[in-house]
Amino acid sequence: MSLRILLLGGTGDALRIARGLPAGHVYSLAGLGKVPDDLKCEVRIGGFGGSAGLARYLTDAGIGLLVDATHPYAAQISANAAVASRAAQVPYWALRRAPWQPRAGDDWRIVGDWAQLVAELTPFARPLFTLGREPLAHLDEIPEHQYWTIRCLDAHPGNARACVVDARGPFTLDGERAFFAAVGADVVVSKNSGGRATEAKLEVARELGLPVVMLGRPALPDADRVFDDPCALLDALLAPYE
Ligand code: NAP
C-alpha cells in the first residue's frame, strides 16, 4: 500500500471521498452524526485530544498523509490538523469548498459572530435559522417580538417561542419551497457553507425576496495542497493505485 491516509470528515463530500478509499486508510468522525458501516476503509470516532493528541495519533497509526475534508465552519479541527501535521511531519491536504456568492437582487447581511447576528435580526419577527445547533443555546434569550424556527440535526422540544425542526440535507428546491411556506419566515439565517446540498434555501429566499443574515466564514489554515472539488481530491488520493 502507498501512504496511509487519515481523512477528517463529517460532511457529505468527505463521505464521498471515504467511499472511494481502499482498506488500510482511516476515516475519522467527531461522532455527532451518522456513522457509515459500509466503507472499505477503517472508521474511527471521536476527538483526538487537541493538536498534540492528533500529532500522536498520526505517528502511532503510521499515517503518511492527513486529509481535511471537514466543514468550512469546523475551524478548530482544521487548525489542529495544520499544527499536528507539522509536528508529525506529515503532509496536510485540504478540501476547501467554494463559498456561495450573492446574485443580483439578493439581500445578504454578513455578520461575524452571534452578537452581531442577533442585532441584525432585531427588525424581524420570524427568523428561520439554518446554521446548526447554536440557536439552541439561546432559546431563553428570544426577544418578545420574535418566534424562531430552528432547523438542525438535533431533536429538541423547543419552547413556547421556538420550534426546532430536526432535518438533514440534502434539501430539494420544491421541498424548501414547501418548508418556507409552512414556516412563514421573514428572514433566513445561514452559514456560507457552499456546495449543492443546502443551496436551495438561498434560491427560495431569492424567490420570496427574503433577506439572508449570513454568518461569515472562519479563517482556515494553509494546506500543502488545496482542492475545491471532492472528485479531484479523491483522484489525487487514488493516483498511486493506478
Ligand atoms: P470543530 O469545532 O472544528 O471541532 C471540535 C472538536 O471536535 C475538535 O477539536 C476535535 O476534538 C473534534 N473533531 C472535529 N471533527 C473531527 C473529526 N472529523 N474527527 C475527529 N475529531 C473531530 O468542529 P465542529 O464545528 O464541532 O464540527 C464537528 C464535526 O461536524 C466536524 O467533523 C465537521 O466536519 C462536521 N460538521 C460541522 C458543521 C459546522 O457547521 N461546524 C457542519 C456540518 C458538519 P479534539 O480536539 O479532541 O481532537
pLDDT in tens, 171-211: 999 999 999 999 999 999 999 999 999 999 999 999 999 99
Query: Which is it for strands 42-45 and 212-215: parallel, antiparallel or unpaired?
Result: unpaired
Could you tell me if 196 and 113 lie in one domain? yes
Atom of ligand 1 nearest to the CA of 76: 3
Q: How far is CA 213 from the centre of its chain?
A: 17
Into how many domains does the chain fold?
Answer: 2
Q: For residue 5, which of 53, 61, 47 has the smallest C-alpha distance?
A: 61
Could you tell me if 119 and 69 lie in one domain? no
Mean pLDDT for 33-62 is 97
Residue nearest to atom 15 of ligand 1 (CA): 30
Quote the pTM value: 0.94
Range of the domain at 204: 108-215
Give the HSE-up count for residue 128: Cα atoms under 13 Å, Cβ half-sphere. 21
Q: Which long-range contacts (CB under 8 A, 24 or more apart) does 13-17 make?
A: 13/69, 13/95, 13/97, 13/195, 13/230, 14/69, 14/70, 14/95, 14/230, 16/230, 16/231, 16/234, 17/67, 17/69, 17/95, 17/230, 17/233, 17/234, 17/237
> Which helix (H) or strand (E) covers residue 204, if one does?
helix 200-208
* Percent of the chain with pLDDT strictly greater than 70: 100
Give the HSE-up count for residue 117: Cα atoms under 13 Å, Cβ half-sphere. 22
Residue nearest to atom 22 of ligand 1 (CA): 30
Could you tell me if 75 and 122 lie in one domain? no
Could you tell me if 133 and 202 lie in one domain? yes
Assigned domain for 103 exists: no
Q: Which residues pair with 212 in a beta bridge?
A: 108, 188
Tell me how far the alpha carbon of residue 145 lies from the centroid of ligand 1, in angstroms.
34
Q: Cell 432559546 sits at which residue?
A: 139
Treating both helix axes as pointing N-terminal to C-terminal, what angle do 173-183 and 200-208 enclose, rounded to 10 degrees? 50
The CATH number that applies at residue 180 is: 3.40.50.720
The per-residue pLDDT for range 106-124, each reduced to its tens digit, is 999 999 999 999 999 999 9
Mutation probe of ligand 1 site: the residue of 8, 11, 77, 154 with most atoms within 8 A of C-beta: 77
Is the distance from the beta carbon of residue 221 to the nearest atom of ligand 1 less than 6 Å? no
Could you tell me if 209 and 224 lie in one domain? no
In sequence order, what are the residues at sequence separation of 6 or more whose Cβ sits closer than 8 angstroms to the Cβ of residue 111? 117, 120, 213, 214, 215, 216
